[in-house]
Amino acid sequence: MHPALYKYTSKAAIDSVFKSVSESVKDSLSQSKFQYLIGKCLSSVRCLHTRLALNNELFDDINSFGVYIPIKKVKVENNELYIAATADTCFRIGDKIIAINGISSSQIINTGYEAISSDGYNLTFKTYAIEEFFFFIYYAYVQQVNSFEIELLRNQKPLKIVLNGLKPKDFWNKYYALNKVNTSPVWSSLIDADKTGYIKVNSFKPDDYFNAKLDYKRSFKEVFSSFKEKNTSNLIVDLRGCQGGSIYIPMELLTYLIHKPFTYKGETFVRQYLPEVLEKLVKKDTYFHFPECNNQDSSLTCTFFSKEIYKPKKMSFKGNVYFLVDGGTLSASGMLTSIIKHLSIGQIIGEETAGAFYTGSKGMEVRLPNSGVILEVSYRTGQVILEGEKDTGYGVTPDFPFHITINDVIKIEDPALLFIKTLFKP
């Protein structure tokens, strides 16, 4: 069972969702309809890490039996869908989607919002997931079919396109042949005649650094050494789409941004029937110790203090720092952003992050006995406790809100990045 099952939703409300879903099943269901109903139940817990398992077994199943709709990305605006990136040349960026196989855009969006899990009351992650992974959201929760009749509006004129789906391998090959994307977990550049440094962080996951043959400590050191050598006065840290990972990696990045030592206190919640998890946390974790543990609502609540005192690096950045965030800034990235805002390290620009002080851990996999569908259920949650701050159930609110529109995508413009330059101080 989830360790903080009723943190954001009452028992009565969760029971009501499960009951209504159960009563709605009158006959056999398609795979996508079944996964939608399961997603609806899981999303009522309001924990981003409790969801349909995105594991190798699921993707092997898609590779063997499924096809994707050849639309890579969309934009959601006013409960309408617009094509933002596609794997098929019959579409145009900016085409408005009216319906797919008779299912309206608003129905597709609402299905996604109901089935996609997010932390607390946050909605920006749900929007981000629909926009960035439309092809998968459609497959997982809307329809698993081989062909698609897509009704569009292009230049105010109706248009109907019928086409077959793509096998995942063909989908990715076709998309990436047209769209070269730097997928390295972290990369940097110097712009504006070396006056501005830019760091793009795609991931804080150790496996991503290992697979890219990068040592994150050495990578950060090399990046900030180059900034110091060039006497860079402004720094942009782009955390958009950085979907978390290990907390140790963002804390390493933090040491290049702070100017005085920092440590923190926090709480973690573990299910009482998982003593092996607690033992690992208490005895094997080199970063935390647990001076007090209390039994609350059949969970084990542990207050911890970081053993690590995070000290500024010698080459800690001394100039102006600006952070770009969006609904894909979640988990460990959301925690980092909450610390950044608390310490007033720099200006935050973009959308509300998907996470803040409180988040869950990667879930344990639970296989449903009849369908074989695998779920992830977070067995541990935790929060950073910072003086004067409290968990509101929402992500970090940016100092300067910005939302990328479909018109920006058509123009290939990034208004948030352009806006930052207006904030640069002499």
**b/e for 213-241, b at 16 or more Cβ within 10 A?**
eeebeebbeebbebbbeeebbbbbbbbbb
- Among residues 138, 163, 133, 130, the alpha carbon closest in space to that of 66 is found at 138
Q: Binning pLDDT at 50, 70 and 90, where does residue 282 land? A: very low
Of 149-163, 249-263, 355-369, where does mean pLDDT reach its minimum? 355-369
What is the rounded average pLDDT of the residues 134-157? 94
pLDDT of 353 higher than 60:
yes
pLDDT of 289 higher than 50:
no
pLDDT of 283 higher than 50:
no
Domain boundaries defined on the chain: 11-178, 186-423
pLDDT of 113 higher than 80:
yes
3-class secondary structure, 139: helix
* Between 276 and 222, the higher pLDDT residue: 222
- Residue 306 near residue 265 (C-beta atoms within 8 A): yes
Of 209-213, 298-302, 387-391, where does mean pLDDT reach its minimum? 298-302
Note the pLDDT tens digit of each residue in 299-336: 555 555 566 789 999 999 999 999 999 999 999 999 99
Q: Residue 180: its pLDDT value, please?
A: 61
What is the rounded average pLDDT of the residues 356-385? 82
* Between 294 and 166, the higher pLDDT residue: 166
The burial of 157, by beta-carbon neighbours within 10 Å (0-12 exposed, 13-18 middle, 19 or more buried), is given as exposed
> pTM of the predicted model, to two decimals?
0.89
Question: Which residues, in sequence order, are bridge partners of residue 382?
Answer: 268, 359
What is the rounded average pLDDT of the residues 146-170? 93
pLDDT of 285 higher than 50:
no
pLDDT of 341 higher than 90:
yes
Q: What's the CA gap between 96 and 158, in Å, rounded?
A: 9
Going from the C-alpha of 96 to that of each of 134, 166, 174, 280, 402, the distances in angstroms are 14, 21, 22, 51, 22
Going from the C-alpha of 6 to that of each of 14, 123, 332, 375, 401, the distances in angstroms are 8, 19, 22, 19, 31
The burial of 206, by beta-carbon neighbours within 10 Å (0-12 exposed, 13-18 middle, 19 or more buried), is given as middle
Q: What's the CA gap between 286 and 248, in Å, rounded?
A: 11
pLDDT of 395 higher than 50:
yes
Q: What's the CA gap between 419 and 349, in Å, rounded?
A: 9
Which of the listed CATH numbers 3.40.50.300, 2.30.42.10, 3.40.190.290, 3.40.1350.10 matches domain 11-178?
Answer: 2.30.42.10
The residue whose two tokens read 């009565």 is 12
Give the DSSP per-residue string, 275-326. Answer: HHHHHIIIII-SSEEEEEEEEETTEEEEEEEES--B---TT---SEEEEEE-
Q: Residue 159: its pLDDT value, please?
A: 97
- Round the average pLDDT of the chain to a whole number and report it: 86
Q: Binning pLDDT at 50, 70 and 90, where does residue 288 land? A: very low
Q: Residue 352: its pLDDT value, please?
A: 97
Q: Residue 361: its pLDDT value, please?
A: 76
Q: Binning pLDDT at 50, 70 and 90, where does residue 294 land? A: very low
Going from the C-alpha of 211 to that of each of 139, 180, 203, 239, the distances in angstroms are 28, 19, 12, 20
What is the rounded average pLDDT of the residues 263-288? 55
What is the rounded average pLDDT of the residues 32-54? 91
- Residue 244 near residue 202 (C-beta atoms within 8 A): no
pLDDT of 86 higher than 70:
yes
> Residue 151 carries which side chain, given as an amino acid letter?
E
CATH 3.20.20.70 assigned to 186-423: no
Judge if 11-178 and 186-423 fold alike in CATH terms: no
Q: Residue 226: its pLDDT value, please?
A: 93
Q: Which token pair is 391?
A: 């968990």
- Give how far the C-alpha of residue 250 lies from the chain's centroid of Cα atoms, to the nearest Å: 15
Q: What's the CA gap between 148 and 338, in Å, rounded?
A: 42
